Amino acid sequence: MSLNVAYGNALSGLGATARMAEVVSANLANALTEGYGRRSVDLSTVSMGGRGAGVRVDGVTRNVDRGLLADRRGAETTLSDRRTLASALRALEGSLGSSEAGTSLSARLEALETSLVSASADPSSETRLAQVLERVDGVATSLRDGAAGIQSRRSDADASIASQVADLNGSLQKIAKLNGDIVTARTTGRDATGLMDQRQVLMDKVATIVPLREMDRPGGAIALITPQGATLLDGTQASTVGFKATPVITADMTLASGGLEGLTLNGKAVGADGIGRLAGGSLGAAFALRDVTLPAAGANLDALARDLITRFEDPSTDATLGGGAGLLTDDGAALDPLATTGLAGRIAVNSRVDPAAGGALWRLRDGMGAGTPGPASEAGQIDRWVRALTTERTLTVGGPSGSAAFHASRFLSDLGAQRLSAEQEESFAGARWSTLRESELSNGVDSDHEMQMLLQIEKAYAANARVISTIDAMMQAILEI
């Protein structure tokens, strides 16, 4: 009877070591697989009637430092937020031209001032007046292009929100399905660690879109909740995030006016800011760009356009106006102080000075309201255009005063400082994520350790096999008696 017990012990040892070899080989094969958690076999002794009856495989444990994993996901959420903002600000700054290349608004204003001074020296020169027209049109074009770029990026942010919401809903549905599969697998005694790997990869994807916290549920399922308390998923029940994209966005369209859409969670609005308790990650960054950062840049550009139009509409600059539009107009009309939203996208040169639109260049010398050409040698009006550009004025109450070029330069400088700050935050967030990621990987599969385990498993397997071989020889000896 003792030989039968010894045989059972050795046979169970062979089964346990074979299972351990299987797990070690899986660890080595997946050492570089994203989302893979190192496995280890859980063993316990078996006893019958107070006597050892071998070893039992209780299961396979997926070894993950959940605290470190949560920290890394939080860092990934922050990095996604900062990266989205920094990338958008870089693109916006680039679209407003380069000072080195002479294509920035401030550089164009300085070029306009230079051309006016040149025309003042020889007001009868059609060539110099044509250059003034070209330069002032360049200023208006720069403002319009900047405004169009801002609205285009708002539309891109809105489209990004729609895309991210679709990815978020799809990932939550898959995680809910995996939750059910994991519970079923563990209930029936099957290995669920592979399903957990898949779930972790999906959770990491969700974490780049919105911040999340993981909570355990019975049977191996989990719940996902944002730090602000919004439930994204609980067991096999996934929440649905709703959003309706706006294909074309204009400067006057805002969330508050109803022109733009916010998020819903299971059919209910999440908050007045459109994102509510889902704030954070790339989704929150897209909302901040669409509703805060880019509209603020657009408002500043509108203020520059208003300042320029006002400078040229001032009766002290052009006495011939009689209440009409000046050298720069609001889409051909005089400025309406109550309708300046989106003004940078509508600013245009007065057609009365543009020969291609039926105007005449001599009005740059004689004034917008002049009916007939004056003396070709008279440069007084051109000098007043120069003074209009260089006179120090404020854009806002209590703001700094300066020339038109000063305000344009200050706008670009502020935007550059905002971009630089965003890049610094992105760099810090990236360094933190990288550090946590390296710590997470160091707790993953160690190939040296796994190879040492494999040697121990090989020795244990050989020892159990030798026991069985010895028992077989002993049984044969008995049978030969």
Chain segment 461-473, per-residue pLDDT in tens? 898 889 888 888 8
- pLDDT more than 90, % of the chain: 65
Task: Name the pLDDT band for 1 (thresholds 50, 70, 90).
Answer: very low
Chain segment 376-425, per-residue pLDDT in tens? 899 999 999 999 999 999 988 888 999 999 999 999 999 999 999 999 99
Q: Count the domains in the chain.
A: 2
- Same domain, residue pair 58 and 135: no
- Same domain, residue pair 129 and 167: yes
- Same domain, residue pair 421 and 326: yes
Task: Name the pLDDT band for 63 (thresholds 50, 70, 90).
Answer: confident
- Same domain, residue pair 428 and 457: no
pLDDT at 478: 83
- Same domain, residue pair 129 and 145: yes
Which residue range is the domain that position 201 belongs to? 70-434
Residue 35 and residue 407 in contact, taking contact as beta carbons nearer than 8 Å: no
The answer on pLDDT for 426 being more than 90 is: yes
pLDDT at 328: 95
pLDDT at 189: 84
Chain segment 138-172, per-residue pLDDT in tens? 999 999 999 999 999 999 999 999 999 999 999 99
Which of 50-54, 322-326, 349-353 shows the lowest per-residue confidence on average (mean pLDDT)? 50-54
5, two tokens: 């017990």
73, two tokens: 């996901």
Q: Which residues contact 84 (CB under 8 A, 6 or more apart)?
A: 282, 285, 286, 289
The answer on pLDDT for 273 being more than 50 is: yes
- Same domain, residue pair 109 and 223: yes
- Same domain, residue pair 288 and 362: yes
| Entry pTM | 0.87
What does the alpha-carbon distance between residue 230 and residue 236 come to, in Å, rounded to a whole number? 16
What does the alpha-carbon distance between residue 413 and residue 163 come to, in Å, rounded to a whole number? 33
- Same domain, residue pair 49 and 131: no
* Alpha-carbon distances of 54 from 44, 45, 46, rounded to whole Å: 9, 6, 5
410, two tokens: 């200050």
- Same domain, residue pair 31 and 145: no
Task: Name the pLDDT band for 100 (thresholds 50, 70, 90).
Answer: low
- Same domain, residue pair 359 and 427: yes
pLDDT at 278: 94
Chain segment 445-456, per-residue pLDDT in tens? 888 888 898 899
- Same domain, residue pair 305 and 395: yes
Instruction: For residue 157, give the nearest of 66, 27, 291 by alpha carbon.
Output: 291
- Same domain, residue pair 313 and 394: yes
Instruction: For residue 134, give the nearest of 306, 345, 368, 349 by alpha carbon.
Output: 349
User: For all residues of the chain together, what is the average pLDDT?
Assistant: 91
Element (H, E) at 59: strand 51-63
118, two tokens: 């040149």
Chain segment 125-141, per-residue pLDDT in tens? 999 999 999 999 999 99
Chain segment 295-350, per-residue pLDDT in tens? 999 999 999 999 999 999 999 999 898 878 999 999 999 999 999 999 999 999 99
- pLDDT more than 70, % of the chain: 98
